[in-house]
Chains A and B, each alone.
Chain A
C-alpha cells in the first residue's frame, strides 16, 4: 500500500540556518504530494503541494520538488525563523482510487533565536 517515510526528528536549528526535511514515498498510480504544518495549539495547515513529477511547490519561503525518479519530496528553506517552529508532515494523496491522505510520522522543528 501507499506509505510515506519522513526524516526522524526532532530537528533543532539556529535562526537563519538552512532547513531540509527528507520525505520519500511509495505509491500506486500518480499521487499528489503535500507538506502540512502544525503550529502549537493549532490544526494541520497545508503548507505547499505538487501534483505531478518535477513540479515545485512553494510557500512562505519553503520549497519542495516532486522527484518521481527518487520518489522524494524533500522540504527546504534557506533561512528559518523562530516562527517556523512546528511539526511538519509529508503526505500523499490521490493515489489510485483512494481519496484520503497518507501521512508520514511528522518532524518536530525547533528554531532557536
Chain B
C-alpha cells in the first residue's frame, strides 16, 4: 500500500486477555517504531527496529509488552494479560533509512485498544 497500515483499527479486550497488533510499514522502509498514545497526550516511544533487529526497547512499560519484526517488514506488538492502563492508541511509524536527524517518519492511523 501507499502508507503505513495498522490492524485492527479498534480492539476491545477483556482484562487479562492477550492481544496482537499488526503494522505493515511502507515497502522498503528500514526503520520501524511503535508508540503509545494515551488520551489527550502525545505519543510515547515504545520500541524501535532496524530491519529485523530490535535496537531499542527501552520504552516498553513492562515485560507484558513484546514486539517482533522477524523478516524486517511486518511487525507485531503483543500485549499479554492486558490491564486497564494499557488502554491507548498504539501507533506504528516507519522511515526509509536508518532513522536519523533528517529522516521523516510516516505514521499509521493507529490501533485504539480499550481494555474492559
Contact = CB atoms under 8 A, between A and B. Distances in A.
Interface of A: 4, 6, 31-32, 36, 41-46, 49, 51, 89, 91, 93-94, 98-106
Query: What range describes how many residues of B lie at the interface?
Result: 20 to 34
Task: Report whether over half of chain B's contact residues are helix, strand or loop; otherwise say mixed.
Answer: loop
Given A42-B109, A99-B56, A103-B43, 7 more contacts: A6-B42, A51-B101, A99-B99, A100-B33, A100-B48, A101-B43, A106-B41
Contacts of B100: 94, 99
A60 B1 CA distance: 26
Contact of B45 (A44, A51, A89, A102): A102
A69 B81 CA distance: 47
B101 A94 contact: yes
B71 to A, nearest CB: 21
A105 B45 contact: no
B107 to A, nearest CB: 4
Given A89-B42, A99-B48, A106-B41, A46 B108 contact: no
Give the 10 A-B CB pairs with smallest separation, nearest first.
A103-B42, A94-B101, A99-B99, A44-B107, A100-B45, A43-B107, A43-B109, A32-B101, A105-B42, A103-B43
B99 A43 contact: no
Contacts of A94: 99-101
A43 B106 CA distance: 9
A43 B91 contact: yes
Contacts of B18: none
A57 to B, nearest CB: 12
A36 B100 CA distance: 17
Nearest to B45: A100
